[in-house]
């Protein structure tokens, strides 16, 4: 059975068993396997990968791994723009928009409070989430690795933490969103754009105890 030498870098090691983390390892395969298939067999969703080098040359997900190949796999580079050399991804999304699975309700609320267009419904199934992500060019956020392995999903992220506050910090860092936030520009419930209105138009809806300013 042919084999290749793989090295997985940085936070992508999160998806590997302990014995394969931070080291080079041999991966045996049946032959005629794409690098995408082999990475996902290791548990790494393709949406997490930003650069693949085979024998020092950038390749895309369709690259067929050959006997003796040296494959290096990198996550998104936060401080280094690799757009000119990477072959694995289409052009980055100009305006980050999100769609979230049903387990990330609080994260959806936080993203909306920070002004990011965030689609969330608690009854979307996996097929719908993948289709929405693809057709509407939305970044799919989920804790389900299998969902991110769907071929039509090109932009997505596996949320690591279970705590919503840690999740929002993780997402802001992952997509470098700090300078793009527009707090309180959207409704946390419906995702709609908030607009100022004269207080006279909403006076009857304001609670009696609300202090006038």
- Coil/strand/helix, residue 65: coil
Domain spans of the chain, in order of start: 3-74, 98-180
pLDDT tens per residue across span 113-171: 999 999 999 999 999 999 999 999 999 999 999 999 999 999 999 999 999 999 999 99
Other C-beta atoms within 10 Å of 138: how many?
22
Distance CA 161, CA 28 (A): 31
Distance CA 27, CA 3 (A): 5
Which string of DSSP letters, residue by residue, matches 161-173? -SSHHHHHHHHHH
| Domain 3-74, second-level architecture | Roll (3.10)
Average pLDDT value for the chain: 90
Distance CA 139, CA 153 (A): 9
Strand ranges, E, within 75-198: 98-100, 118-120, 139-142, 156-158
């Amino acid at each position: 059975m042919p084999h290749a030498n793989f090295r997985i870098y940085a936070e992508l090691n999160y998806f590997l068993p302990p014995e394969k983390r931070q080291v080079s390892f041999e991966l045996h395969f049946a032959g005629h396997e794409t690098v995408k298939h082999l990475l996902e067999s290791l548990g790494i969703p393709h949406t997490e990968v930003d650069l693949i080098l085979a024998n020092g040359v950038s390749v895309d997900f369709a690259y067929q791994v050959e006997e003796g190949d040296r494959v290096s796999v990198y996550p998104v580079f936060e401080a280094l723009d690799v757009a000119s050399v990477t072959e694995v991804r289409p052009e980055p999304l100009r305006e980050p928009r999100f769609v979230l699975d049903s387990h990330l309700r609080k994260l959806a609320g936080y993203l909306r409070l920070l002004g990011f267009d965030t689609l969330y419904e608690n009854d979307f199934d996996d097929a719908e989430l993948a289709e929405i992500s693809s057709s509407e060019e939305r970044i799919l956020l989920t804790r389900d690795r299998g969902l991110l392995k769907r071929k039509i999903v090109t932009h997505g992220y596996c949320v690591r933490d279970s705590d919503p506050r840690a999740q929002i910090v993780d997402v802001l860092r992952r997509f470098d969103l700090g300078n793009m936030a527009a707090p309180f520009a959207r409704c946390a419930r419906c995702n709609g754009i908030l607009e100022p209105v004269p207080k006279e138009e909403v006076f009857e809806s304001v609670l009696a105890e609300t202090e006038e300013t």
